[in-house]
Amino acid sequence: MPRQDSRRVFVASVTAILGVVIAGASAPDTISELAASGLEAVTRLFGWFYLASLFGFVLLLVCLALSRYGKVRLGPQDATPDYDAFSWISMLLAAGLGVGLVFYGMAEPMRHYLEPPYGGVPAQSPEAARLAIQYSFFNWGVHQWSVFALAGLIVAYFQFRKGRAGLVSSVLSTVTPRRPHGRPWAPWLDVFAVVATVMGVATSLGLGVLQVNGGLRAVFGLPESALSQLLILLVMFVAYMASTLAGLDKGIRRLSNLNMLLCLAMLLYVLVSGPTLKILETLTLGFGDYLQNFIGMSLRTTPYSEDGWASEWTLFYWSWAIAWSPFVGTFVARVSRGRTIREYVLGVLLVPSLLACLWMGVFGGAAIHLERAGGAGLAAATQADMNVALFEMLALLPLSGLTSVMAMMLILVFLVTSADSASYIVAQMTDGGSINPPVFKRVAWGILIAASCLTLIVLGGLDGLQSASVLASLPFSFVLFAMAAVLVRTLRQDHDALLGLLYRRHGEVPVGADAIEAESLVRQRHARPLPLTAKGAAGQACESRRRSPTREAAPVDAEEGVTAP
């Protein structure tokens, strides 16, 4: 992206964010009502579209991983991953799930237990408990991560394999190849992604601050007040600014590793100190129900009733994932350089989903069994205030004071890593997609995110801004479809170009082709000169390599006629 466009994106993004925050803070009730009405209309009219789209994303990713493209590496073909497996998964978990996993880990299964999905079974019954775990797995499983995985795969392929900027607009520059640069709409697409990211992270920070404040009240009796929330936000701000200044490797990576260790410690603690046998049985049954009903849940609509459960839960999650996909996808791409498409899909699509389901099964299963065994009051606590529901459950287990402090630390670290990751990626989006954006932009975006969050907490407007952010998912879903089409087309063109190059260099023997491709290559060769690439420049590059005895064969970029890494 030209430097002028980068400045334009930066200025336009800051202006738009300030306008949205001022509007949300000055008229929070009005904005909240309008956003809620718009979100309800979108999920009602396009719920079927979201369900079908995410199911399609899952199928596409699985097909790519199992296909001949699975061995393609995101970067030079001899590259190695930038991060080890533990750090990689830790950073994925921190950026993609964030504080929502802690916020909803116990509360969501309990809510589904009290209000069963689609109202098909009696509330607070064994059947309701079973459905609660099944649909919690569904809401936090591979569908939600398919959006992040697809967006990240597309950005990573074009950034590290094709040498383009890590921006959504740079991927779509191949939709109309006659004008690959200078499109007037390209900067505005990046502005859209920046605004959606900042608003989403600001609202998540605000909700996390409220939960930490609720935990401090439940454990230590501290008041829930604007001053307390300001101090919590200040601690978060100092922490993620320090991480931002430390950089990706020393800051985000170390915090994400700490975050993962805290998650595993909390998970094992609840599993061991809670009703262990019941939790293990719940996990086994939950995974079985999830796998057995996967397709049915993926495409379940309610054309014969007016049930609003899916709009409140599943469709809201799907919309939120799409709205966050520019941020999470770009971050996932940044930390996935050097992995093959097969490794990437298995790691990004399956591992975080498995960890999320384990968390839901352990915390949700423990809460439901404690409630059913002796009326622990967790159902009433969840209905009264979801911010303190987790701490109410921990109070029923041994060492409640210590584990409550650990839970608050986990929330804080999740929020810090989310804000830190967002500052990094938004700085990248407003700096032409550079891999290492300047420090002053990372600091500026960190300050703006914190200021937006503080304004909304003090003056109100968090709920309205959250709904408004989710509304961005509808237009961006079509952008995702266009990006997916570009990826599939480019993969096919690059594969054909490589086969053509090998065919010429090995005496017109179709090396590396299967039987069908080999027959096609021979027919093309007999019919006309073999078209190596989509453009004449690429063909000339291949021919010059064939004639040069000092050059080894290398994959050719089918779009731009340059040697692929």
DSSP 73: B
pLDDT digits (tens, 9 = 90+) for 352-367: 999 999 999 999 999 9
Supply the pLDDT for residue 186: 66
| Exposure of 195 in the CB half-sphere (CA atoms within 13 A) | 26
Contact indicator for 152, 64 with CB cutoff of 8 Å: no
Contact indicator for 202, 464 with CB cutoff of 8 Å: no
Supply the pLDDT for residue 362: 95
The residue-averaged pLDDT of 189-211 equals 79
The residue-averaged pLDDT of 233-252 equals 78
Q: What percent of the chain has pLDDT over 90?
A: 24
Instruction: Calculate the alpha carbon distances from 244 to 13, 190, 238, 439 in Å.
Output: 20, 22, 10, 8
Q: Which tokens go with 198?
A: 């900042």
pLDDT digits (tens, 9 = 90+) for 4-45: 567 778 888 888 888 877 877 777 778 778 877 887 888 888
* pLDDT, averaged across the chain: 81
CA–CA distance, 25 with 21 (Å, rounded to integer): 6
Supply the pLDDT for residue 424: 82
Q: Which tokens go with 341?
A: 């498409």
Angle at 224 between CA 222 and CA 227, to 5 degrees: 95
**pTM: predicted TM-score of the whole model, two decimal places:** 0.84
How far is the first Cα of the chain from the last one, in angstroms, to the nearest whole number?
Answer: 21
Q: Is 328 helix (H, G, I), strand (E, B) or coil?
A: helix
Element (H, E) at 277: helix 276-292
Is 54-416+443-503 a CATH 1.10.3470 domain?
Answer: no
DSSP string of 6-69?
Answer: HHHHHHHHHHHHHHHHHHHHHSHHHHHHHHHHHHHHHHHHHHHHHHHHHHHHHHHHHHHHHSGG
> In 10 A of CB 44, how many CB atoms?
13
| Domain residue ranges in the chain | 54-416+443-503
CA–CA distance, 216 with 221 (Å, rounded to integer): 6
CA–CA distance, 389 with 512 (Å, rounded to integer): 58
- Of 98-112, 179-193, 212-226, 334-348, least confident by mean pLDDT is 179-193
pLDDT digits (tens, 9 = 90+) for 452-465: 888 777 776 666 66
pLDDT digits (tens, 9 = 90+) for 317-343: 888 888 888 888 888 998 899 999 999
Q: Is 184 helix (H, G, I), strand (E, B) or coil?
A: coil
CA–CA distance, 356 with 89 (Å, rounded to integer): 12
* Cβ burial 289-315 (10 Å sphere, 16+ → b, else e): bbeebbeebbeeeeeeeeeebbbebbb
- Of 49-58, 273-282, 431-440, least confident by mean pLDDT is 431-440
Supply the pLDDT for residue 514: 66
Residue 534: exposure state from Cβ atoms within 10 A (0-12, 13-18, ≥19): buried
pLDDT band at residue 548 under the 50/70/90 scheme: very low
Supply the pLDDT for residue 298: 94
Residues near 548 by Cβ (< 8 Å), separated by ≥ 6? none
CA–CA distance, 188 with 190 (Å, rounded to integer): 5
Instruction: Give the gyration radius of the chain's Cα atoms.
Output: 25
Give residue for tokens 């209000």: 115
Q: Which tokens go with 145?
A: 């991560």
